[in-house]
Structure 1
């Protein structure tokens, strides 16, 4: 009696197992179709999706910042109003309107870099080091905003000076970046390929990882620690925040080094910050260019730019600088096609053997057929 029952149970389990496999295959097929349609939609509308995603990213950032900072702002406003009310209660001879005018004038002068307190009145915003710091901050588009021109002539000069200086600075930074890129990126990647036997993609990923780690250590973590030691009122997080807003050219005015120290210390910190800005921006541009050359980053860029972007490659900027022997040469643009399109599976005629000629006068090697090789003299 137990055998038929056992066999019936096994057959039922096998039936349900096969049915479950069918449903699983159908669900997998449906998921694959939906994923393919979603990927096709993203490829067609990639740029639009990126713009929408960026807009949502900005809105989410604003909402999160509002949620985090608005309670602190309300608390600070309440404390200031209580302090003002307590001062008026302790000094009944002072009118509220007179106190408001005094506070407005003091705050306006403070925003323009002029201190109203006697202890900070010896601070000069336009000595040489302060002016150099101001110019570097403007030319690198950091613009901390702690120091502003007080005269109309100074404002006009800043406008004209920056109209010429900002493009000149960008040109200098771009030239230095492209000059350093072969030494900092291309040569190490080539050495990793030759000596370690890595593929170019893996070598580039390893090099960019090491480069990013060294940059974060030398230009963010260590300078933040030094600022934390020099500025007694700053925490390590505040020092790291200053380094980030400086090298990202955000330049918020809430943190500036040397404001609570002597004049000589402030001048030294301003000069060091000016050098830190220029050197740090050059290094960050080199790191960004190194990451930009990664295959994964290029694939993402092509995905959002469209399938036809980058198919036609003309002459690059470096190739425009030709030697005297190649002045008349003109490179034809070429299309990057798949290997299956360039080389078919079989050839109807036998391939003609080719011989690679040696380079002549710096020209690249020329591949010639055996019949076209000139006889040796």
Structure 2
């Protein structure tokens, strides 16, 4: 019952967190949306006044067609002309789209137009998403053993440092390293390469991408006249893969620290005992049942098993 009570409290906290987010976003974004709608209505009215021969219904149809095409990544405005505009489905752009598909980032800026492309994406993601997750997980497990468990166990055993204090310090240093290497530095690079992006816009793009949220309001390499656009697109795809590995490494390290401090036991169910322990327990029960008299079994003092103390490398959730 205690576990269910904790889960219920966590669920109430999660619901409250969602309500808080909805209230804040509604209060911040709704006035900005209203101003933007008013500006668009004023621009449309001014355009119709300057073009009295253009029916409003024809303008509405034209704008609707442009917006529908833009949602699929086919933009009409490319420095005033569509001549020479880069394709959204050249090899570099398709490689970038495939990487966002299998990593579940999915910006939604470029989407398949044909039925054949949509059907292929279904089967491609059906195989690609599990394989990508498996590859990232296997890589991160080896990174944890190399950069987390190994160094901390060495410091704890060789120098006698406290494992809990070491885990907190290591998590802090790792978080700072990930923040600098995959957020601050890339945000500075993106804000330099993308003329219309501020540093906050670039940092926002990095965060939304590496958290696999992928809203699609900011997509790199889509401005007109982008230099070395194919190389830029492929480089961003590589950045996404490396960044996801770094985020998984940080998440795994946090989980291990939570296990070491006993925080996971507050919500998660206890793990099943190893197979050997279950077999030993079953064998003891069978021996107990086969005894004819209770006194025939000798009482053997239970000796603590060596190495049963939880350490950083033995935890594997």
User: Which TM class, normalised by the smaller chain length?
Assistant: 0.7 to 0.9
- Which of 119, 132, 145 matches 1:182? 145
Cα 1:147–1:192 change in 2 (3 A) is same
Q: Which has the higher contact order (CA 8 A, sep 6+)?
A: 2
The SS at the match of 2:262 is: helix
Cα 1:225–1:180 change in 2 (3 A) is same
Q: CA deviation at 1:301?
A: 2.2
Corresponding residue for 1:87? 47
Name the CA distance, whole Å, in 1 between partners of 2:279 and 2:211. 37
Uncovered stretches (5+) of structure 2, i.e. residues with no partner: 282-298, 307-317
List per-residue Cα deviations over 1:126-153 (Å, max 9, x = no partner).
1111000000001000000111111100
Indicate yes or no: 2:60 matched with 1:100. Answer: yes
- Which of 13, 20, 23 matches 1:60? 20
Corresponding residue for 2:246? 283
Cα 1:176–1:93 change in 2 (3 A) is same
| Worse overlay, 240-249 or 254-263 | 254-263
Q: CA deviation at 1:107?
A: 0.8
Name the CA distance, whole Å, in 1 between partners of 2:191 and 2:212. 21
- Which of 121, 136, 139 matches 1:173? 136
After superposition, the CA RMSD in angstroms is 2.4
Q: CA deviation at 1:230?
A: 1.3
Q: CA deviation at 1:264?
A: 4.4
Name the CA distance, whole Å, in 1 between partners of 2:60 and 2:280. 71
Indicate yes or no: 2:114 matched with 1:114. Answer: no
- State how 1:230-245 maps to structure 2 within 5 Å: 230-245=193-208
The SS at the match of 2:253 is: helix
Indicate yes or no: 2:161 matched with 1:201. Answer: no
Q: CA deviation at 1:285?
A: 0.7
1:144–1:253: 8 Å Cα contact kept in structure 2? yes
Q: CA deviation at 1:241?
A: 0.1
Corresponding residue for 1:270? 233
Corresponding residue for 2:183? 220
Q: CA deviation at 1:311?
A: 6.0
Uncovered stretches (5+) of structure 1, i.e. residues with no partner: 1-40, 316-329, 336-348, 357-377
Cα 1:197–1:334 change in 2 (3 A) is farther
List per-residue Cα deviations over 1:174-225 (Å, max 9, x = no partner).
1111122110111121232245431111111111111111011100011111
Q: CA deviation at 1:300?
A: 2.6
Corresponding residue for 1:246? 209
List per-residue Cα deviations over 1:279-321 (Å, max 9, x = no partner).
111111111111101146762321123xxx3264225xxxxxx
- Which of 96, 121, 127 matches 1:164? 127
Corresponding residue for 1:28? none
List per-residue Cα deviations over 1:319-372 (Å, max 9, x = no partner).
xxxxxxxxxxx554789xxxxxxxxxxxxx9x9xxxx9xxxxxxxxxxxxxxxx
Give the total of aligned pairs. 283
1:139–1:169: 8 Å Cα contact kept in structure 2? yes
1:181–1:286: 8 Å Cα contact kept in structure 2? yes
1:258–1:265: 8 Å Cα contact kept in structure 2? no
Name the CA distance, whole Å, in 2 between partners of 1:227 and 1:118. 21
TM normalised by structure 1 equals 0.70
1:257–1:266: 8 Å Cα contact kept in structure 2? no
